[in-house]
Amino acid sequence: MKLERDVIVIGAGPSGAISSALLKQRGWNVLVLEGQRFPRFSIGESLLTHCLDFVDEAGMMPAVERAGFQFKNGAAFVRGDEYGDFDFSDKFTKGRDSTFQVQRAAFDKVLADEAEKQGVEIRYETRVTAVDNSGAKPRVRAVDAKGVEYEVEGKFLLDASGFGRVLPKLLDLETPSKFPVRNAVFTHVADGAAPDAFDRNKIQVIVHPGHRDVWFWLIPFANGRCSLGCVARKEFFDTYPAQLEERLKKLVSEEPFLTRVLANATWDTPARELTGYAANVKSMHGKGFALLGNAAEFLDPVFSSGVTIAMRSASMAAGLLDRQLRGETVDWTNDFEIPLRKGVDTFRAYVKAWYDGRFQDIMFAKTQPPGIRAMICSILAGYAWDQSNPFVAEPERRLDMVAKLCAA
């Protein structure tokens, strides 16, 4: 069997759902091949406000609003008895002031269902196992749940396979991330926290008291539950119990804020572990294909930038591909990869500053130079492509300068 479509999308996560809907709206015949059946677990539960701009562009905001996800208006940072938070309404860049914290199983299903309602064809439990882009049109080999294999040929292929990284692996595009290998251990708990125990409208990013490069996330959901995770290098985790829930409980017991907030928590979900998730590619596009979201690059979870980058890449690629399919000559390097990487590089500078301590020095300083909070807040809200923000235009230099001022 051989199918023919205008566009083949690998993966129905956020970047696959948004890109396929935007292309369908422009009149293209899109087939999404998704390896799993939705709803399925995925990590990445704290959204930035900018990502809702793309949900809106794809016409999916009413469905996301109806789903009743936890309201989010900012980010809070905790280190011992030091606390600092950002409210997105204080940001420098114009844009949304709030977003959501979501169980990804439910969120990703809402987006994929909306894409289907708009006419996108999604084949679930269908894995892409091979690709051939040597001919005039790219082809993929798909295998469904019954083991039936078939070929799909398209005019273009979008890889939205996230950590599956289908094309980077099959086409030898992988290149190591410059960040060291870190692991994340995480679970969901019924937190049992009193309503005033902490600000449920913000992600809580908590620094381990003894190790400033080890941190926790506490992401509240709407139903009295929280996502809880800890990020550290493997060598650090090796000194803790091998059993994941025990490991997480031991780490929580070392941190006063979490010990207090989770005193009455019910640990009812098996903990999971992810390792070495930071990844990069030699190129984000090639003959007949482009890479979206995590299939291209993933930095680090600390600033919750993953879904925003995934959706932004989806929106940019859909616009460019539409023009290409209409016969225009387009430039994937200058109109996709370079501008996309600018924002990714902004986040990269912040991630680097988080782990080398500069961001924490700024965050927890007794006084900060006026105006800088609004500019940093914009990046925390996801507006990392706004070149009018000096902290986007020159992130390294600005972060360095302010960290020195704060330390003085």
Binding site for ligand FAD (CB under 6 A): 10-16, 33-36, 42-47, 127-128, 160-164, 166, 184, 274, 277, 292-295, 298, 301, 304, 306-308, 310
Q: Measure the CA dihedral 45/281/21/202, to 10°.
A: 20
Name which of 275 and 333 has its Cβ closer to ligand FAD.
275
* Residue (218 or 295) nearer to ligand FAD, CB: 295
Shortest reach from residue 297's CB to ligand FAD, in Å = 10
Q: Smaller CB distance to ligand FAD: residue 15 or 280?
A: 15
- Taking alpha carbons only, the member of 265, 259, 279 closest to residue 344 is 279
Nearest approach in angstroms of CB 317 to ligand FAD is: 12
**Least spacing, CB of residue 348 vs ligand FAD, in Å:** 14
| Residue (219 or 372) nearer to ligand FAD, CB | 219
- The CB-of-231 to ligand FAD minimum distance in angstroms stands at 7
Minimum distance, C-beta of residue 89 to ligand FAD, in the bound complex (Å): 20
Compute the distance between CA of residue 62 and CA of residue 4 in angstroms, rounded to an integer: 32
Q: How far apart are CA 250 and CA 268, in angstroms?
A: 16
Closer by beta carbon to ligand FAD, 193 or else 296: 296
* Least Å from the CB of residue 228 to ligand FAD: 12
Of 43 and 61, the one with the shorter C-beta distance to ligand FAD is 43
